[in-house]
Structure 1
Amino acid sequence: MAPLRTVDKFVATFIVDNCIEWMTKLPPGFTHEVPQHLQDHNPPIDPVTNTPFIDLENYCCGAHGFSALIETQIEGESPHYTLFDTGPESKSIARNIAAMHIPTHQIERVILSHWHSDHSGGILTFLRIRSASEHAQDMPPCVVDVHPDRPTARAVAFQGPVAGGRPVIGRLPSDPTFEEIRAAGGVVQASGEGHAVADGTVWVSGEIPRVTQFEGGLLSGIRWVEKEGRGEWIKEEQLMDERYAAVDVAGKGLILFSACSHAGIVNVVKDAVKTFSRPVYMIIGGLHLAGAELMPRIDPTVDFLANRLRPSPTYVLPMHCTGFAAKVALEHALGKACVPAGVGHKVTVDGDREADKILSSPSIQ
Structure 2
Amino acid sequence: MPPTTVVDKLTITFLVDNCIEWMSKLPPGFVHELPQHVQLYPEADEVTGVPVVDLDHFCCGAHGFAALIETAVEGEGSHYTLFDVGPDSQSLVRNVSAMKIPVDKIERIILSHWHRDHTGGLLSFLNLRQTAQSKCIVDLHPDRPLARGIAPGPTFDKVVCALPSDPSVEHIEEAGGTVEQSSEGHAVAGNTVWVSGEIPRVTSFETGMMGGMRWYDEPGKRGSWLKEQHIMDERYAAIDVAGKGLVIFSACSHAGIVNVIKDAIAVFSRPIYMIIGGLHLAGPEFAPRIPPTVEFLSRQLRPSPTYILPMHCSGFQSKLALEAAFGEGCVPAGVGLKVNVVGDRGQDERIFPPLY
TM-score bracket for this pair, using the shorter chain length:
over 0.9
Q: Out of 111, 134, 153, which is 2:147 matched to?
A: 153
Q: Distance in 2 between matches of 1:61 and 1:150?
A: 28
Q: Distance in 2 between matches of 1:344 and 1:324?
A: 20
Q: Given the alignment of the two structures, is residue 86 of structure 1 paired with residue 85 of structure 2, yes or no?
A: yes
Give CA deviations for 1:278-304 in whole Å, capped at 9, x if unaligned: 000000000000001110000000000
Give the SS at the match of 1:189. strand
2:298 alignment partner AA: A
Structure 1 unmatched ranges of 5 or more: none
Task: Give the aligned length.
Answer: 351
Matches for 1:95-114 after TM superposition, within 5 Å: 95-114=94-113
CA contact (8 A) 2:214 2:225 kept: yes
Give the SS at the match of 1:51. coil
Q: Distance in 2 between matches of 1:249 and 1:161?
A: 41
Alignment-derived partner of residue 205 in structure 2: 214
Q: Given the alignment of the two structures, is residue 200 of structure 1 paired with residue 191 of structure 2, yes or no?
A: yes
Structure 2 unmatched ranges of 5 or more: none
Q: Given the alignment of the two structures, is residue 17 of structure 1 paired with residue 17 of structure 2, yes or no?
A: yes
Alignment-derived partner of residue 343 in structure 1: 335
Alignment-derived partner of residue 126 in structure 2: 127
Percent identity between the two aligned chains: 64
1:171 alignment partner AA: A
Q: Distance in 2 between matches of 1:303 and 1:161?
A: 28
Give the superposition deviation at 1:360.
4.3
Q: Distance in 2 between matches of 1:183 and 1:335?
A: 47
CA contact (8 A) 2:6 2:241 kept: yes
Q: Distance in 1 between matches of 2:206 and 2:53?
A: 43
Q: Distance in 1 between matches of 2:297 and 2:251?
A: 17
CA contact (8 A) 2:146 2:215 kept: yes
Give the superposition deviation at 1:42.
2.4
Give the SS at the match of 1:12. strand
Q: 1:303 to 1:360 in 2, by over 3 A?
A: farther
Give the superposition deviation at 1:55.
0.7
Give CA deviations for 1:165-188 in whole Å, capped at 9, x if unaligned: xx2121101000000000000000
Q: Distance in 1 between matches of 2:264 and 2:215?
A: 31
Give the superposition deviation at 1:219.
1.3
1:86 alignment partner AA: V
Q: Out of 303, 306, 313, which is 1:321 matched to?
A: 313
Q: 1:310 to 1:181 in 2, by over 3 A?
A: same
Q: Distance in 1 between matches of 2:68 and 2:142?
A: 23
Q: Distance in 1 between matches of 2:85 and 2:25?
A: 27
Q: Out of 274, 289, 295, which is 1:297 matched to?
A: 289
Alignment-derived partner of residue 75 in structure 2: 76
Give CA deviations for 1:314-355 in whole Å, capped at 9, x if unaligned: 000000000000000000011011000000000001110000
2:116 alignment partner AA: S
Q: 1:270 to 1:187 in 2, by over 3 A?
A: same
Give the SS at the match of 2:90. helix
Give the SS at the match of 1:272. helix
1:15 alignment partner AA: L
CA contact (8 A) 2:70 2:80 kept: yes
1:8 alignment partner AA: D
Q: Distance in 2 between matches of 1:42 and 1:228?
A: 57
2:142 alignment partner AA: P
TM-score by length of 1: 0.95
Give the SS at the match of 2:248. strand
Alignment-derived partner of residue 28 in structure 1: 28
